[in-house]
Structure 1
Amino acid sequence: MPGLEHTITIAAPPERVWDVLVDVERWPERIPTVDSVERLDDGPLAVGSSARLRQPKLPEAVWTVTELTDGTSYTWESKSPGVLGVASHVVEPHPDGTRLTLALSVSGPLSGLGWLFTKGLTRRYVETEAASIKSVAETAD
């Protein structure tokens, strides 16, 4: 199953990193790889919550939370014809603050071909997203 994982250390407490991570409505102002986010439900992010994301050079996607451990991790999925994308976000205490791990895997009959064309872009996006979350979490907001 094609995919990638990126881990970064953030000089901020896990609670702060978690707050930035789950505030998906503010991603477009905080993360340059996200053009827009439209929550499709109300309230805090929870299992079953969905959001429509628009990102440069990628098709619009609806992501639905499938697992969530408050303050620690969430996983969401996006389905398109022939491809299932699964993205996980994990926040862990670290001696220097917090360790954030972002991971993405794709599966399905068209995933190999799609991954061939988007792997480099996706890697840059995930690295930029982690760096952006780090920057926001480490500064007053």
Structure 2
Amino acid sequence: MRFETTVDINATPETVWKLLIDVERWPDMTASINRVELLDEPIALSARARVHQPKLPAAIWTVTAFEENKTFTWESRSPGVTTTAAHELVTTPNGTVTVHLTLDQKGPLAPLFALLTGRLTRRYVTMEAAGLKTKAETP
């Protein structure tokens, strides 16, 4: 399963990046996340976090790619499925930000996971993008 969403945010890239990498505060932005425990600080390459989401088991996510102020990707593994989530910021010519969120699930059980949780996963990613936009644009 692959899901992508894009949101334009009327805020500075610095504001959006600070919110994006402050993963422990994500529950303040979206109801799709109950709690995030940063296991390695700061969030950077190889850092890990335990993410608790409604209706899903807690998962350990490990940062696999990180470029300050631009992008971070993290990955979670469970038996038969590897889930990769990418967060990319693109600064527009007028100084605002377009955020691309991508979620990929691969592995022998990925089709089953997509069938069981695909709709919920898509809804959560969309909620996260909307919550980031609202938080970044609120003074």
Q: TM-score, normalised by structure 2?
A: 0.96
Q: Report the aligned-residue RMSD.
A: 0.9
Quote the residue 1:93 is aligned against.
91
Q: Secondary structure at the match of 2:33?
A: coil
Determine the structure 2 residue equivalent to 1:133: 132
> 1:18 deviation in Å?
0.6
Residue 58 of structure 1 aligns to a residue whose secondary structure is coil
2:80 aligned residue: 82
SS at match of 1:86: strand
Instruction: List structure 1 runs of 4+ shifted beyond 4 angstroms.
Output: none
Secondary structure at the aligned position of 2:86 is classed as strand
Aligned to 1:48: 46
Deviation at 1:72, TM superposition (A): 0.2
- Alpha-carbon distance between aligned partners in 1 of 2:135 and 2:28, rounded to the nearest angstrom: 10
Give, in whole Å, the separation in 1 of the partners of 2:74 and 2:104: 11
Aligned equivalents of 1:102, 1:37: Cα separation in 2 = 18
Which one is further off, 60-69 or 116-125? Answer: 116-125
Give CA deviations for 1:54-91 in whole Å, capped at 9, x if unaligned: 00011110000000010000000000001000000001
Contact between 1:18 and 1:71, CA under 8 Å: does it hold in 2?
yes
Q: Mark the runs of 5 or more structure 1 residues left unpaired by the alignment.
A: none
1:5 corresponds to: 4
Matches within 5 A, 1:50-69: 50-69=48-67
> Unaligned stretches of 5+ in structure 2?
none
CA distance in 2: counterparts of 1:95 and 1:130, whole angstroms: 21
Residue type at the aligned position of 2:115: L
